[in-house]
Amino acid sequence: MLTVNENFLKLPGNYLFAEIANRISAYKAENPEKNLISLSIGDATRPLSPAVITAMHKAVDEMGTIEGFHGYGPGEGYAFLRETIRDKAYLPLGVDISVDEIFISDGAKSDCGNIGDILGPDNAVAVCDPVYPVYVDTNAMAGRAGDYDGTRWTDIIYMPCNEANGFMPELPVRKPDMIYLCFPNNPTGTAATKSQLKLWVDYALKNGALILFDAAYEAYITEEGIPHSIYEIEGAKECAIEFRSFSKTAGFTGNRCAYTVVPMDLKFGGASLNKLWDRRQCTKFNGVPYVVQRAAEAVYSDQGMKEAREIIDYYMNNAKLIRHGLKNAGLTVYGGVNSPYVWIKTPAGADSWGFFDKLLYGAGVAVTPGAGFGPEGEGFIRLTGFGDAELTKQAVERIIAIL
CA 48 from centre of chain? 19
The interaxial angle of helices 302-328 and 50-63, nearest 10 deg, is: 140
In the bound state with ligand PLP, the residue whose beta carbon lies nearer, of 138 and 346, is: 138
In the bound state with ligand PLP, the residue whose beta carbon lies nearer, of 311 and 363, is: 311
To the nearest whole angstrom, how small is the minimum distance from the Cβ of residue 105 to ligand PLP? 8
In the bound state with ligand PLP, the residue whose beta carbon lies nearer, of 337 and 363, is: 337
In the bound state with ligand PLP, the residue whose beta carbon lies nearer, of 119 and 258, is: 258
In the bound state with ligand PLP, the residue whose beta carbon lies nearer, of 7 and 253, is: 253
Residues contacting residue 98 through CB under 8 Å, at least 6 positions apart? 86, 264
In the bound state with ligand PLP, the residue whose beta carbon lies nearer, of 251 and 364, is: 251
To the nearest whole angstrom, how small is the minimum distance from the Cβ of residue 246 to ligand PLP? 7
Asked if 74 and 281 touch (Cβ cutoff 8 Å), the reply is no
The residues that touch ligand PLP, with contacts defined as CB under 6 A, are 42, 107-109, 132, 182, 186, 214, 216, 245, 247, 253, 258
Distance CA 128, CA 196 (A): 14
Where do runs of H (alpha helix) occur along 134-289? 134-141, 194-207, 247-250, 273-284
To the nearest whole angstrom, how small is the minimum distance from the Cβ of residue 162 to ligand PLP? 19
Residue 54: helix, strand or coil by DSSP?
A: helix
To the nearest whole angstrom, how small is the minimum distance from the Cβ of residue 151 to ligand PLP? 22
Instruction: Provide the edge-to-edge strand list for the sheet that holds 178-182.
Output: 102-105, 258-261, 240-245, 210-214, 178-182, 125-129, 157-160
In the bound state with ligand PLP, the residue whose beta carbon lies nearer, of 213 and 231, is: 213
Distance CA 273, CA 262 (A): 7
Residue nearest to ligand PLP (CB): 107
To the nearest whole angstrom, how small is the minimum distance from the Cβ of residue 123 to ligand PLP? 20
Distances (CA, A) of 246 to 110, 150, 155, 300: 13, 35, 33, 11
To the nearest whole angstrom, how small is the minimum distance from the Cβ of residue 124 to ligand PLP? 21
Amino acid occupying residue 161: C
To the nearest whole angstrom, how small is the minimum distance from the Cβ of residue 26 to ligand PLP? 25
Distance CA 203, CA 210 (A): 10
